[in-house]
Structure 1
Amino acid sequence: MTATTLQPIIPRTDTPALLAALQKSGSWDEHISMAISNPNASIVTTPTFKYDITVGAKATRVLIFDHLGAEEDMERDLKAFLAGLEKGTKVALDESAAFPHARAEILERVGFTNRVFAHPNVARQLDLVDVDGTPVAPTSIPPPEGITIHEITSSTDPRFDARVAVERDIFGYGAGYFSHLPAALAEMMDKYGDYHLLATTANQDGGEEAVGYMTLRVHRGVAYLQGAGTVETWRKRGLTKAMLARTVAKAVEWGFEVMLTVAWDENAVRAWTAMGFREVGITRVWDLDV
């Protein structure tokens, strides 16, 4: 991936647009990609909405990504869309993804309620450069001794399978979720240009053992730190900081001024805050049972 493939970068001063791009990149793109290898899921585009529908044994779930009609028609279109769903369908809507049409007062009138999280709806921002373009975030930190950090920019890379597997091992994904993950990561890498780092160390057999990863997505004009993880034996040894510095260097090279991420639990909040991220805004999801 080169800088010439990037979409126009969203200015650091346009927080609503940054949050909307973050939500689309983190929810819309990932759901679409995961649906590719899920026989129970499909992405549907109608004249008024784009959404993901998953038919499960216990419930049918719909996640509305975007409103394709006029802004002033949002309430009318949403009521018509909901009226066409089967009773028992669970509906969720990404407020920022449907920005600016999905205003809170409209969603409340239609019957949606804001999903309450402890932390997942808090977006965090890392400033990469100051106002004159001078880098302010570290762009070079050596990895711990014995660790090599590799760049992966294509699903044909020989280390791609190891990149997928290490995420599964770190987070304990079940077989169902993991069965869709390789296709989703390949789609996001090859279509959207996701930039991956894989950290390895030598094993007793003289080969490589994957011990950590980090993923940066820049598809929608925002530098989104999509994911990161380190196996337990290598935590608190500076590996994540080293991978973050490499990722920051790449984002600065491509012209970004800020990087955004979402912290999903208390440990992640503490980790990202310690590395310079600060709270910047709220991304909200709204729910409704038909």
Structure 2
Amino acid sequence: MDRDEVLAEFDRQMRREAVSDDLGARMERTERLVRQVGGTAHTWAGVLWSGLDDGTADEAIAAQTAWLAGPEGRGREFEWKLYSHDRPADLGDRLRRAGFVPDPTETLMIAEVAALPTEVRLPDGVRLEPVTDAAGVDLVAAVHERAFGASAARLRDRLLDQLAQTADGSLTMTVAMAGDEPVCAARMEITPGTDFAGLWGGGTVEEWRGRGIYRALVAHRAALAAARGIRYLQVDATDDSRPILQRLGFAALSTTTPYLIQG
């Protein structure tokens, strides 16, 4: 895999030419910026790509904060998804000065689907169940709250919306169950017309970590991606999942930091 070439294609297909992940939202594009806005209060809103320099960065940031102060942005959470290869080099500092607050940095990791293991090996007593309804989304949300220690209310609402809108199978969610207990959950989002699918979630509750469940869910989703003809899988990896993904064959191509601000 040519890492520079794949990163360039990721930037083009998944950022500059990104499509909305919500039927009620819209993508707005200028020569220097791509952002998603609109939709409901829990629809993701933010900047996906920017092509800025020292002379244009502050003006672009000011335009986002002005939008947030307006009727459409007021009360909304807004994210500027910054990658380490974005320019100018001090864009993160400029965002902080404008009131954006960074969340923890994650590693952009990408692998060719054809090179990934697809054999699912689960510990005894654990099974995988597809998520197809609101009850399943509740299980995903419960895992998220236990695994990451954060509210899953917004995530639950967003997943319910996506589930209702994606009859084409571009969203697949899976929960690992130990008896009646959800112990790990993950999803895969396919972007039609691109070479990429994203792996999201993958949280395992603390008492079930270290037993190979996260790895099994990666293999499960790799098999689904292979069946759909997807060429690459992409993950925004935490420090915990990065070494597992590296052992599976994912390469670190950049880092990404969510810069958040409230309208």
Q: Which runs of 5+ in 2 are unaligned?
A: 39-43, 51-55
- What is the CA–CA distance in structure 1 between the aligned matches of 2:222 and 2:29, rounded to whole Å? 39
One-letter amino acid of the counterpart of residue 267, structure 1: D
Is 1:141 matched up with 2:120?
yes
TM-score (norm 1): 0.61
Aligned to 2:173: 196
Q: Which residue of 2 aligns with 1:279?
A: 252
Structure 2 residue 229 is the aligned partner of structure 1 residue 255: yes
Please give the root-mean-square deviation of Cα atoms over the aligned residues, in Å.
Answer: 4.6
Secondary structure, aligned partner of 1:183 = helix
Distance in 2 separating the partners of 1:284 and 1:233: 28
2:2 counterpart of 1:15: no
Task: Please name the residue that 1:104 is paired with.
Answer: 88
Given that 2:103 and 2:260 are in contact with CA atoms closer than 8 Å, whether structure 1 keeps it comes out as no
Compared CA separation, residues 229 and 20, structure 1 to 2 (3 A)? farther
Three-state SS of the structure 1 residue aligned to 2:241 is helix
Alignment check: 8 A CA contact 1:150 1:199 kept? yes
The answer as to whether partners of 1:25 and 1:224 remain within 8 angstroms in 2 is no
- 1:283–1:144 CA distance, 2 compared to 1 (3 A): same
Contact 2:185 2:203 (8 Å CA) reproduced: yes
The structure 2 residue matched to 1:235, chosen from 193, 204, 209, is 209
Closer, same or farther in 2 for the Cα pair 1:166/1:95, shift >3 Å?
A: closer
Could you say which residue in structure 1 is the equivalent of 2:129?
150
Q: Which has the larger radius of gyration?
A: 1
CA shift for structure 1 position 127: 2.3
The percent identity for this pair of structures is: 18
Structure 1 spans left out of the alignment, 5+ residues: 1-11, 37-42, 54-61, 69-73, 97-101, 130-135, 203-207
Native 8 Å contact 1:147 1:201 kept in 2: yes
Question: What whole-Å deviation, never above 9, does each CA across 1:131-182 have from its counterpart, x for those lacking one?
Answer: xxxxx32111231111111122x335x43322221222211223xxx33222
Q: Distance in 2 between matches of 1:276 and 1:169?
A: 28
Residue pair 1:128, 1:137 contacting (<8 A) in 2 also: yes
1:159-174 to 2 correspondences below 5 Å: 159-174=136-151
Mapped contact 1:75–1:106 kept (Cα < 8 A): no
Kept in 1: contact 2:101–2:259 (CA 8 A): no
Q: How many residues align?
A: 231
Q: Matches of residues 1-290 of structure 1 in structure 2 within 5 Å?
A: 13-19=5-11, 21-22=13-14, 29=21, 50-52=35-37, 64-65=46-47, 78=60, 81=63, 84=66, 93-94=80-81, 104=88, 120-129=105-114, 136-152=115-131, 154-156=132-134, 158-174=135-151, 178-192=152-166, 193-202=170-179, 208-219=180-191, 221=194, 222-264=196-238, 266-283=239-256
C-alpha distance in structure 1 between counterparts of 2:259 and 2:160, whole Å: 29
Normalised by the size of structure 2, how large is the TM-score? 0.66
Q: Which amino acid aligns with 2:184?
A: G
Change (3 A) 1:144 1:22: farther
